[in-house]
Amino acid sequence: MKPSSARENISRPKARNAALMNLLATPGLGSLMAGRLFAGMGQLALSVSGFVLVLVWFMQEMVPYYSLMFSDEPQHAVGFKMLKLGAGLFALAWLWSLVTSVSLFRETSKANLTSLKSFAAGQNKMDESKVQTALAALPQWQRNGQIISRTFAFADFPAAMKFVNAVAEIAELAQHHPDIDVRWNTVMLALTTHDAGGLTEKDFALARQCDALSLR
């Protein structure tokens, strides 16, 4: 498969922004932002074509009225065929972009569920090579012996506590609880699997989820 055709994994905030762009601005732009090139280009082409047709209809509709300023001869109205076609194309683009937006949210939910399921696995302590590989994918996390940790900074105390509550929710679902240290607008998380005597896949799965939560 060519790199350009590969689907990009998308975070929930990016899916939300893409949906807002699709549904409240220009259908197709949000899909392009989310890496859905085929759908985005198709939606954008339909929406632009529809807008152009409506604009042409409006200009042609106004010509007879302005012509009355210079001539008494009756002018023929254009009719609504072009308007209906343009509005139909734009509506089709909007509906298509709605389907894409819903699909993006479903993908993020599926990714979150997959990540949560991975907590159930990985009960065994990881060997050093696997730990190094997993840690390389989490550059903001630091390792101290058999513990990985990261400090998250937020705008204020309420934002920090909102993050803590979200972490507590997924940690309880996974039955894997990090050590948490809150200092006003910063939150430090430390992870290890005590039952396994060191780092397991559960620690890195929860770390990935915490990184995603910090972006919301």
* Interval 24-46: pLDDT, tens: 888 998 888 888 899 989 999 99
Please give the mean pLDDT across all residues of the chain: 84
- Give pTM, 2 decimals: 0.48
pLDDT(4) > 80:
no
Helix-strand-coil percent breakdown of the chain, rounded to 5?
Answer: 65, 10, 25
**From CA 8, how far away is CA 67, in angstroms rounded?**
54
pLDDT of residue 1: 33
Q: Fold for domain 123-214?
A: Gyrase A; domain 2 (3.30.1360)
Confidence category of residue 9, pLDDT binned at 50, 70, 90: low
Pick the closest to residue 148 from 198, 185, 211 (CA basis): 198
Residue 141 buriedness (CB in 10 A; 0-12 / 13-18 / 19+): buried
Confidence category of residue 99, pLDDT binned at 50, 70, 90: very high
By mean pLDDT, which of 13-27, 45-59, 115-129, 135-149 is the weakest?
115-129
Confidence category of residue 65, pLDDT binned at 50, 70, 90: low
pLDDT of residue 150: 97
Using one digit for the tens of pLDDT, what is the confidence trace for 127-179?
999 999 999 999 999 999 999 999 999 999 999 999 999 999 889 888 889 99
pLDDT of residue 77: 57
How confident is the model over 57-62, as a mean pLDDT?
83
Please report, for residues 33, 102, 133, 144, 187, the alpha-carbon distance to residue 204 in angstroms, rounded to integers and kept in the order given. Answer: 28, 29, 11, 14, 18
Strands 179-183 vs 142-144: parallel, antiparallel or unpaired: unpaired
Taken in order 141, 143, 147, 151, the sign of the CA dihedral is negative
Domains of the chain: which residue ranges?
A: 3-117, 123-214
